[in-house]
């Protein structure tokens, strides 16, 4: 029996914000992909015998929609502009193999397509912030330890050092300057990355973007990670996304710095790591996040940069007060 995507001419168009983001980030390739998307959905629905529903909203950089499989089980069809990033996500999910992460049911890297386990109930960890933030942080720490893998032999994943090169690209882009990111923060991040990378004694395959929105309540496992970036590096780097999220909620709290400090203490104890070093990684990672927002140049890039900078400044203050 053939299952096809129910997209027809009377279906509403893609959200304008999503289309703008894809066109802004990927240029002509992104615009061509958007035009192909309806046909691509139909082709993949046929290939994998799926009935694909309307996408989950809001969409960001990928088209993500629920799908019903031929055997009646549920899945999620994720489509993005084919890229190395999606290739790394597919490979990371293969290595995680469903342990602590959503299961990869099928993949078509050439088309930037992933068929994923549908995590239910699927509520994310951000609902616990700030009321049950200690518990949320403890859950995230346990998931980190469950996810991390030994560095795969012959892997093609980027390393944390590769990612840190975005700081150099920022300076090239602004002819030695730092553009919208305060130079003082970039200088500090460059110094910390140099020190942290040189002193690292552990390497692992990391999720790379393990914030509250990427940790979902499930049934197969109580908590499952989604949307891994797939990066190899010091496990301490993994905390940067958690300490600076969920935005903008975190930055609206009465004392976000204190919350960050509390999280750092819980993570340090749970992971057996030095608290000051974790804050160093988190600060450097938030400055790096600001650099990525500049590079993405999406519709809301200025707001994204401002929030990452605000988080970095709070983390620097927390770091300075750390014994």
Give yes or no: 209 in active site: yes
CA distance 308 to 181: 9
Query: How does 304-322 read in b/e, with b if 16+ C-beta sit within 10 Å?
Result: bbbbbbbbbbbbbebbeeb
CB 125 within 8 A of CB 142: no
Among the listed residues 300, 171, 290, the one whose alpha carbon sits nearest the alpha carbon of residue 240:
290
C-alpha dihedral, 26 to 167 to 178 to 276, nearest 10°: 130
CB 125 within 8 A of CB 226: no
CB 186 within 8 A of CB 208: no
Tokens of 218: 């499930």
Task: Name residue, tokens 């995680």.
Answer: 96
Of the residues 124, 209, 227, 280, only one is catalytic, namely 209
Tokens of 263: 């999280």
CA Rg, the chain, in Å?
20
User: In the 3-class helix/strand/coil scheme, how is 52-114 assigned residue by residue?
Assistant: ECCCCCCCCCCEEEEEEECCCCEEEEEECCCCHHHHHHHHHHHHHCCCCECCEEEEEHHHCEE
H-only helix segments in the chain: 16-47, 84-96, 133-147, 160-164, 166-173, 183-199, 239-243, 249-252, 256-271, 275-296, 301-320
What are residue 114's phi and psi, to 5 degrees?
-130, 135
Residues with a catalytic annotation lie at: 209
């Amino acid at each position: 029996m053939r299952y096809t995507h129910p997209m027809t001419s009377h279906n509403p168009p893609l959200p304008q914000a999503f289309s703008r983001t894809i066109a802004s980030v990927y240029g002509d390739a992104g615009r061509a992909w958007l035009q192909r998307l309806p046909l691509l959905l139909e082709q993949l629905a046929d290939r994998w015998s799926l009935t694909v529903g309307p996408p989950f909203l809001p969409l960001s950089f990928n088209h993500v929609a629920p799908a019903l499989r031929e055997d009646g089980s549920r899945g999620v069809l994720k489509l993005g502009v084919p890229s190395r990033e999606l290739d790394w996500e597919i490979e990371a999910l293969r290595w995680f193999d469903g342990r602590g992460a959503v299961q990869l049911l099928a993949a078509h890297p050439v088309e930037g397509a992933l068929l994923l386990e549908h995590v239910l109930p699927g509520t994310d960890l951000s609902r616990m912030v700030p009321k049950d933030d200690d518990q949320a942080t403890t859950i995230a720490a346990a998931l980190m330890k469950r996810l991390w893998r030994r560095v795969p032999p012959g892997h093609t994943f980027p390393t944390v050092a590769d990612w840190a090169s975005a700081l150099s690209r920022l300076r090239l882009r602004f002819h030695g300057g730092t553009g919208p990111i305060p130079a003082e923060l970039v200088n500090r991040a460059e110094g910390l990355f140099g020190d942290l990378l040189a002193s690292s004694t552990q390497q692992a395959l990391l999720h790379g973007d393990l914030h509250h929105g990427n940790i979902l309540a499930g049934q197969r496992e109580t908590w499952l990670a989604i949307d891994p970036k797939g990066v190899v590096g010091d496990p301490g780097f993994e905390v940067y996304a958690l300490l600076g999220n969920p935005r903008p909620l975190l930055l609206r709290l009465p004392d976000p710095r204190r919350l960050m400090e509390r999280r750092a203490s819980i993570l340090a104890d749970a992971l057996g790591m030095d608290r000051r070093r974790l804050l160093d990684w988190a600060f450097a990672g938030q400055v790096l996040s600001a650099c990525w927002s500049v590079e993405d140049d999406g519709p809301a890039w200025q707001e994204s940069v401002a929030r990452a900078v605000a988080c970095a400044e709070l983390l620097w203050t927390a770091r300075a007060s750390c014994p």
